Every structure is written in structure tokens, then in C-alpha cells.
Amino acid sequence: MPLMRFVEVLERELGIEAEKRYQPLQPGDVPETHSDITDLARDTGYRPQVSVEEGVRRFVEWYRWYYGV
């Protein structure tokens, strides 16, 4: 999932627009990844059951409950 898509999901769940400050890549930034959990799934049987959208929604719900906001 592209970073900006993740930010959009978070904005939607929070009901606010993030203040975005675009910067050039910083030391240590990774411009692109090719993650693959095939080996992990094979070795451990772990397979994610929750989408990023659902996970962000649940996290925001928990955060608001935990911090009373």
C-alpha cells in the first residue's frame, strides 16, 4: 500500500486532514519495497486476516477509547 493511501485511510478514520510537508528522501528512507510473506505463511501458518483499512479503523477506535479522546 502506498504511504499516501495509508495517510488517506487514517485521515478518513480520524475525520481530519493531515498537514503534509513533502520533503526529499531522507537518509535511511526506502523508496520502494517488495514485501512478500509467502515464506512466513508457509513456515508459521500466519496469514493476515484484517485489511489495512480495517486495522487502522480498529486502532483509531482503540486509541480514542484508551486516551478518552
- Give the pLDDT confidence of 17-64 residue by residue, as tens digits: 999 999 999 999 988 888 888 999 999 998 889 999 999 999 999 999
CB under 8 Å to 31, separation ≥6 — which residues? 25
State the CB neighbour count (10 A cutoff) for residue 43: 9
Strands (DSSP E) along 1-69, which ranges?
none
40/69 Cα distance (integer angstroms): 37
Confidence (pLDDT) at 26: 94
- Residue 64: closest CA among 1, 7, 14: 14
Distance of CA 17 to the CA centre of its chain: 16
